[in-house]
Structure 1
Amino acid sequence: MLRTLGRDATRRHSSLILLRSYTTPSTTPSKLPSSHIPLANTKKPKVNLHPAPIKPKPSHTPTTTTTTTSSTKIPRSFSTEKTVPQPPSKVAEEIKHDVHDAEVHGILTPPPADANWAKRTLHQAIQLFKFYYRGVKLIFSRRKQITIINARIKAGGTPLTRSEFRLIETQKDDINKVVPFLIIALILEEVIPLIAIYAPFMLPSTCILPAQRERIEAKRADKAQLFASQYHSIYTALRRAEQPPGFLPLSALSIASAPTAVCGLLGLSTIGIDFLRIRRIRHRLEFITRDDQLLLQDNKQLSQRELIEALEERGIATANLAQKDLHARLSWWLDAIKDSSSEIDDNALARRLALAISLRA
């Protein structure tokens, strides 16, 4: 009896140990049954929910690193732009060229060789101011010379020459420009070189440096050549509007864009409305008519510069032409207007306008 009870107790004790070995999880993963692994995994997230906010830290760290890197790159790019010297603009180069060319020709006194930047800039500003002062002074001093010329003609003396006529016309133009030029020179003298580049029509003839004059004339010639190609159809339409053939009245400029096309052809400003453009064209044709009369009267041999100036005023191209070719073109023009009216009337203007258009149509 006692032995039987002892055996039952021993069996119960061993079964209890086996039961505990299956119900109590072991700390060694390799001894866990495969059926219990999912249960352990599903329970771990529930227990370890508290560390979950730590997960954004790795994603947050690269963001701050990227931001820091980008923030350090911006100052570097700015510092690089500041340290690298920017090339001088075309405008600054043209101004320097104009001043240097005037110094080479003796119009402006060059600064001392050992002058620093401040002294050199001050010296050039003073020299330009003296140049503009002498130019304005010359405009007012020419009034006495023109008064003498007009008095001689009224008294029945020698007739007016072409050079005197052009001097009088230049003086009229300069008088209209000198007052606004003086205001600009007194307030903003440093702006005048920019005016010579962008608005040369505002400068009196006595206040233009030689290099500036060459650039103005070159731009005027380029403008006329450009207009000849752009407005070819307009010039062709104007040729068809001649009444009679060989005479183009100013009333034909009512064609759309015709005043702009003719202004560009004659080297005139195209700014403003058509009324102002037609007014400029009329004044130019009147000037050319009087100039033609004096050219026929004086029969003087012109220099190459005078030939180019006379031809461009009449809308005749002069690029890459020798002096004999320039003279031949001017002779053709004078022969074409010999039989026209010697008076400055509508027929004389219509004849010259038709000649200028015929060379481009």
Structure 2
Amino acid sequence: MLRKAARNNAAVIHRRLQFVPFRHASPAYHRLYCVPPPTPPPTAAKLPAGDQPPLPLPPHKKPKLDLRPAPVKPKPPSPPASAPPPPTTASTTPQTSAPHHVPATPSLSEASKEAKHDIEDAEAHGILAPPPLNANWVQRTLHQVIQIAKFYYRGTKLIFTRRKAIALIHARVQAGGAPLTRAEFRLITTQKDDMAKLVPFLIIALLLEEVIPLIAIYVPAMLPSTCILPSQRARIEEKRTEKALAYETVYAGLYAALKEQTAAAKGFLPLAALRVEDAPMAVCGQLGLSTIGFDALRLRRIRKHLSFIARDDEKLLEDSTPLSRRALVEAIEERGIRTSPNLTHKQLQSRLQWWLDSVKATTELADAAATDAALGRRLALVILSAGQS
């Protein structure tokens, strides 16, 4: 019994000692222990010659992904199949594209700076009262707004005051008194233009008074002549001259075609000749007129301006009063003739005299035929003056 119990105890101890190390071993060690080793394939010597397996293929390697791409080399440009021909320099086709050389419209920030400069210039010349020296930003801004409002009020009041003087001029002429002078004729024309601009100007002044200095930059034609600051007027004239020079350059081919028609018509060019593409815009730009709108409005502006020039020529031929340099420059540029600060007073007079001698035969506006001939003669002179410095 004792011997049998000892054998049983020894078997139990042996069994425990055999399995204890694998209970606490790692899973990998346990897996290697439990999985039986693979049976080796039969060697080539033991297989017949025709039953030998094919040689194993080399392991397929996956392409390596490069997560840091190198810069891609640009491909050499391939030559075009058919390159466009180079533009010809002797083309006389009129320009139909937009005038790219015309001075660009200033941005809002640039316009604000120019408006501020206009106010400072008016304060320096005594037109607007300057703000107190110790005023802060709010007080200075409020002071400038009040001064500008006073300036516009005085300008509007002057328009209504001139009505009385113009009424007296009309009464004198109708009563058989002294004829209308050139200064009075231009005053009446300016008064008509200011009265047409007065209503929209008053609406803007009452609702958005601070916007008016910007209108003088973007749409100066909306302002009456009595509500423009001196620096604004100088800038308007400068922009008009730049625009006229730019249009003469852009539409050089169109002017050349119109000059040929003028020579064929012996110095006359009817308004109907402008019923071609871009012709009304080109002439409006040369005469300093607004180019906004469509061709019918531009032709109407040209006709109205040439009619005014015809009346002004008549007054200049009747009146022998010498003109100042500023009046000479204004009269010459109104007729589409370019001027320069280097020209002397005598040279300016000779240019105006050339114009008056050329239109002297068509100053009588008795009937419609004579009116068309007078406008056609002046339009021809405008076209001939294009590009002449």
Whether these two folds match at TM > 0.5 is yes
From 359, 367, 374, the equivalent of 1:348 is 374
Contact 2:310 2:363 in 1 (8 A): no
Does residue 1:244 correspond to 2:265, yes or no? yes
- What secondary structure does 2:126 align onto? coil
Could you state the TM-score of these two structures normalised by the residue count of structure 1? 0.76
- What secondary structure does 1:339 align onto? helix
CA–CA distance in structure 2, aligned partners of residues 149 and 346 of structure 1: 29
From 142, 153, 169, the equivalent of 2:162 is 142
Q: Name 2:317's counterpart in structure 1.
A: 296
Contact 2:287 2:333 in 1 (8 A): yes
Deviation, structure 1 residue 283 = 0.5
- What secondary structure does 2:197 align onto? helix
Deviation, structure 1 residue 342 = 2.6
Contact 1:235 1:357 in 2 (8 A): yes
CA–CA distance in structure 2, aligned partners of residues 288 and 42 of structure 1: 113
Could you state the TM-score of these two structures normalised by the residue count of structure 2? 0.71
Q: Name 2:81's counterpart in structure 1.
A: none
Does residue 1:118 correspond to 2:144, yes or no? no
- What secondary structure does 1:89 align onto? helix
Q: 1:218 to 1:291 in 2, by over 3 A?
A: same
Does residue 1:357 correspond to 2:370, yes or no? no
Deviation, structure 1 residue 292 = 0.9
Deviation, structure 1 residue 198 = 0.3
Query: Amino acid of the residue matched to residue 288 of structure 1?
Result: I
- What secondary structure does 1:132 align onto? helix
CA–CA distance in structure 1, aligned partners of residues 313 and 122 of structure 2: 33
CA–CA distance in structure 2, aligned partners of residues 324 and 122 of structure 1: 48
CA–CA distance in structure 1, aligned partners of residues 307 and 318 of structure 2: 17
167-176 vs 98-107, which moves further: 98-107
Query: Amino acid of the residue matched to residue 156 of structure 1?
Result: G
Q: 1:40 to 1:255 in 2, by over 3 A?
A: farther
Q: 1:199 to 1:40 in 2, by over 3 A?
A: farther
Identity %: 59
From 186, 192, 195, the equivalent of 2:212 is 192
From 288, 291, 296, the equivalent of 1:275 is 296
Deviation, structure 1 residue 244 = 2.1
- What secondary structure does 2:361 align onto? coil
Does residue 1:153 correspond to 2:173, yes or no? yes
Deviations 1:14-71 (A, max 9, x none): xx9xx97xx86999xxxxxxxxxxx66998xxxxxxxxxxxxxxxxxxxxxxxxxxxx
Deviation, structure 1 residue 240 = 2.3
Does residue 1:220 correspond to 2:246, yes or no? no
Query: Amino acid of the residue matched to residue 173 of structure 2?
Result: I
Q: Name 1:254's counterpart in structure 2.
A: 275
Does residue 1:103 correspond to 2:103, yes or no? no
CA–CA distance in structure 2, aligned partners of residues 212 and 198 of structure 1: 11
Q: Which has the higher contact order (CA 8 A, sep 6+)?
A: 2
Query: Amino acid of the residue matched to residue 345 of structure 1?
Result: T
Q: Name 2:203's counterpart in structure 1.
A: 183
Contact 1:103 1:109 in 2 (8 A): yes
Deviation, structure 1 residue 255 = 1.4
CA–CA distance in structure 2, aligned partners of residues 354 and 211 of structure 1: 34
Deviations 1:262-281 (A, max 9, x none): 11110111111111111100
Q: 1:40 to 1:253 in 2, by over 3 A?
A: farther
Q: Name 1:206's counterpart in structure 2.
A: 226
Contact 1:185 1:192 in 2 (8 A): yes
Deviations 1:221-280 (A, max 9, x none): 111011000111111121222362211100101111111111111011111111111110
Query: Amino acid of the residue matched to residue 141 of structure 2?
Result: T
- What secondary structure does 1:111 align onto? coil
Deviation, structure 1 residue 138 = 0.5
165-174 vs 99-108, which moves further: 99-108
Query: Amino acid of the residue matched to residue 140 of structure 1?
Result: F
Q: Which runs of 5+ in 2 are unaligned?
A: 1-13, 33-107
Q: 1:201 to 1:40 in 2, by over 3 A?
A: farther
Q: Which runs of 5+ in 1 are unaligned?
A: 1-15, 28-38, 44-87
Query: Amino acid of the residue matched to residue 239 of structure 1?
Result: K
Deviation, structure 1 residue 307 = 1.5
Q: Name 1:318's counterpart in structure 2.
A: 339
CA–CA distance in structure 1, aligned partners of residues 280 and 304 of structure 2: 13
Query: Amino acid of the residue matched to residue 297 of structure 1?
Result: E
Contact 1:341 1:347 in 2 (8 A): no
Contact 1:241 1:248 in 2 (8 A): yes
CA–CA distance in structure 2, aligned partners of residues 181 and 125 of structure 1: 16
Q: 1:287 to 1:114 in 2, by over 3 A?
A: same
CA–CA distance in structure 2, aligned partners of residues 205 and 341 of structure 1: 28
CA–CA distance in structure 2, aligned partners of residues 113 and 328 of structure 1: 51
CA–CA distance in structure 1, aligned partners of residues 167 and 31 of structure 2: 115
